[in-house]
Amino acid sequence: MKNKAVNRLIALGTTLTILLCGCGGTEKPAVGSAPDRETQTAASQSAAAGENAATGETPVAGENTNEDMITFTFSKSSYPSVTLPEGQTPDDNVVLDYIRDNYQVDMKLAWQAEGSEYNNKLSLNIASGNLPDIFYCNDYRTFLQLAQNGLLADLTDIYEENISDTIKGIDASYGGRNLEPVTIDGRLMAIPAGNLDGQQDVLWLRKDWLDNLGLEVPKTMEDLEKVLTAFVEEDPDGNGVDDTTGLTVDATKPVARYNHAFGLEPIFYAFGVYPNYWMEDENGEIYYGSTDERMKEVLTLLQDWYKKGLIDRQFATRIGSGETEAVFTSGQSGAYFGAVHANYTDAFTNNPDIELVAVAAPLDGSGKYNYVLPEPTSSMLCISSKCADPARAVKIIGIGNDLYRGFDEKANEIFNAAGIASSSNGRRAVFPQGSVTYDYFDIIEKLGKAVKENIETGSYTEYEGMTQYDKDQVVLATQYADGSDKTELSFKSYYYRYVGSNLLSGSEMNPHEAAYYYTTDSSASLQAELDTLEQEMYLSIIIGEKSVDYFDGFVTQWKNIGGDTLLEEVKQVLGR
């Protein structure tokens, strides 16, 4: 998305107040267009810095003690399910103490909230004019409204001088694409987190079942149908009982977007169809992928598979929490689509001898595995325009991230002694950045290669920015591979970091970029009904409740109840 598209989006929203717009959804920035000149400059500066960045060179503790003490308020997502070590709370812990004592910055938690409640509370803060100095935002249209109304500090002239080398290196790994969506009229207005590559859905199969039946891993759609048929009909678990089922599918959302476990997206992608995305055709026309006429061919196939039992015949009834996952983890099913990290420890708990394999399948007619790239940025840390010292706020964000990543040995000793370990689930609950992730675009693939090298040669080469967590993952996966550690934790590391991640560098991977990723002005009033209509279409056709011809009626209804309105707004944003 060119910056002028962002400006059009702002122009579309000038009649809306921030309070009316709210923060109700997860809005996504666009991907794939050339950044404007100012963003290119920032990107090139980050790339140059990236050559010497990501070394983990956190400023030495205490080096800033000559500066006056300053207080910054902040807000973050909460983690109510996390049990923190004794004496540690989100607003009073060793991390905040360390930052205060060594960097003369007193970080005060203004408020925190969980999930969607966070967005609601941020809306109230915006309406009351009471924003914290540093705050998390995961709603792109809210960010645009904040920028438009002068509520954000302009970081353009202070970012490069004050942000950490680590984050400069991370920016460089994105080629500046993560900075472009938060650059408005050539001015940098937030510090963006990135969406990582390598989380596209792949096909996970029970390798032990394939071996039992003498089957090869599938490549084509026909191969996959053969495997699913055998899994249903040929007693793959060898127990002499007809108790296995087909592909595990999410009933509540059979088709979604990037990084969606138990979805059917790769089936559509193999046909060159991209539902749920705004796409651009070969003539430069913008269209909604779910209305593509070629959808009918895919739906015909899926309906046939369901009739044959190649898709779990009970999937439509499995709507309770954990019910879909349990079909696989209990041993009823041997196939599902999910990201490389979507391997479930309950499967190992229920069957410690289980073996899995991740496959880039089904391929399209050219032998390619199609998927849609993630948007480069979907969340960010913003600094209020009322902040007393935005430059120091930028600096402390970078320092906090380096501390989070474990680049300060003195701090690590203190955090570890307090029970805040490098891989602790409670780490996000005590660090000011909370759920914001600053990591390299290709980190999943890089870590996978290190794990592979260690398992297969006994050593590995460290890469820039490698954290203690990364090193722990190498050890865990290797220990599972050599049999010295057969626990749930090592199981997940092995299948995520070795079996799954090493698919990512395959020549068959064929990423596509959507034309547009997020919502428009009318989405707040139209999107929910359109989404419900679409998901009901998938479900009713796949299970045979309606014929494939119903798709034509769906398209007509989708257009009439607001789809055409959204399409025109997307075109306007993109200048079409």
215 and 281 assigned to the same domain: yes
Q: Is the pLDDT of residue 417 over 90?
A: yes
411 and 318 assigned to the same domain: no
With beta carbons less than 8 A apart as the criterion, state whether 162 and 394 touch: yes
**How much is the mean pLDDT over the chain?**
89
pLDDT score recorded for residue 5: 56
Last residue of a domain, one of 391, 412, 430: 430
Residue 183 phi/psi, 5-degree rounding, is -105, 115
- Indicate which CATH number applies to the domain containing 391: 3.40.190.10
The identity of residue 96, as a single letter, is: L
Average pLDDT over residues 40-53: 38
**pLDDT tens digits for range 283-324:** 999 999 999 999 999 999 999 999 999 999 999 999 999 999
Q: Which residues pair with 381 in a beta bridge?
A: 136, 191
210 and 329 assigned to the same domain: yes
* Integer angstrom CA distances of residue 163 from 346, 436, 496: 41, 16, 31
DSSP labels, 234-245? S-TT-SSS---B
With beta carbons less than 8 A apart as the criterion, state whether 107 and 72 touch: yes
pLDDT score recorded for residue 423: 62
**Dihedral over Cα of 453, 457, 458, 459: its sign:** negative
pLDDT band at 8 (very low <50, low <70, confident <90, very high): low
Average pLDDT over residues 120-141: 94
Q: Report if residue 458 sits inside a domain.
A: no
Last residue of a domain, one of 430, 447, 470: 430
Q: Six-digit token pair at 312?
A: 């779990």
342 and 387 assigned to the same domain: no
- pTM reported for the whole predicted model: 0.85
- CA 477-479-483 angle, 5° bins: 120
As a whole number of angstroms, the distance between CA 574 and CA 576 comes to 6
Burial 539-564 (b: 16+ CB within 10 A, else e): bebbbeebebeebeebbeebbeebbe
Residue 312: partners with Cβ closer than 8 Å, 6 or more residues away: 245, 246, 247, 248, 249, 318, 327, 332, 333
pLDDT score recorded for residue 65: 53
Q: Is the pLDDT of residue 34 over 90?
A: no
Q: Report if residue 561 sits inside a domain.
A: yes
DSSP labels, 316-385? GG--STTHHHHHHHTTSB-EEEE-TT---HHHHHH-TT--EEEE--S--TTS-EEEEPPPS-S-EEEEBT
As a whole number of angstroms, the distance between CA 136 and CA 435 comes to 8
pLDDT score recorded for residue 56: 46
With beta carbons less than 8 A apart as the criterion, state whether 195 and 376 touch: yes
Secondary structure E strands in 403-532: 509-512
* Integer angstrom CA distances of residue 8 from 3, 43, 219, 523: 9, 23, 43, 16
148 and 244 assigned to the same domain: no
285 and 329 assigned to the same domain: yes
- In percent, the amount of the chain with pLDDT more than 90 equals 80
As a whole number of angstroms, the distance between CA 99 and CA 77 comes to 20
Secondary structure E strands in 82-122: 105-113
Q: Is the pLDDT of residue 519 over 90?
A: no
345 and 392 assigned to the same domain: no
Q: Report if residue 160 sits inside a domain.
A: yes
309 and 403 assigned to the same domain: no
135 and 273 assigned to the same domain: no
pLDDT score recorded for residue 468: 87
With beta carbons less than 8 A apart as the criterion, state whether 567 and 527 touch: no
Q: Which residues pair with 74 in a beta bridge?
A: 109, 134
Among 63-77, 182-196, 450-464, the minimum mean pLDDT is found in 63-77
267 and 320 assigned to the same domain: yes
Q: Report if residue 79 sits inside a domain.
A: yes
Q: Which domain holds residue 43?
A: 3-197+377-430
Average pLDDT over residues 13-30: 38
Where on the phi/psi map is residue 185: left (φ > 0), alpha (ψ -120 to 50), or beta? left
68 and 158 assigned to the same domain: yes
**pLDDT tens digits for range 429-467:** 999 999 998 999 999 999 999 999 999 999 999 998 898
Q: Report if residue 24 sits inside a domain.
A: yes
350 and 388 assigned to the same domain: no
Last residue of a domain, one of 430, 457, 475: 430
As a whole number of angstroms, the distance between CA 127 and CA 57 comes to 39
Q: Report if residue 454 sits inside a domain.
A: no
As a whole number of angstroms, the distance between CA 388 and CA 150 comes to 15
- DSSP H helices, 149-235, are 159-162, 165-173, 207-213, 221-233
Domains held by the chain: number? 2
**pLDDT tens digits for range 104-119:** 999 999 999 998 799 9
Q: Report if residue 303 sits inside a domain.
A: yes
- DSSP H helices, 55-104, are 94-103
**pLDDT tens digits for range 196-206:** 999 999 999 99
pLDDT score recorded for residue 32: 31
Q: Is the pLDDT of residue 49 over 50?
A: no
Q: Report if residue 492 sits inside a domain.
A: no
Residues in the chain: 576
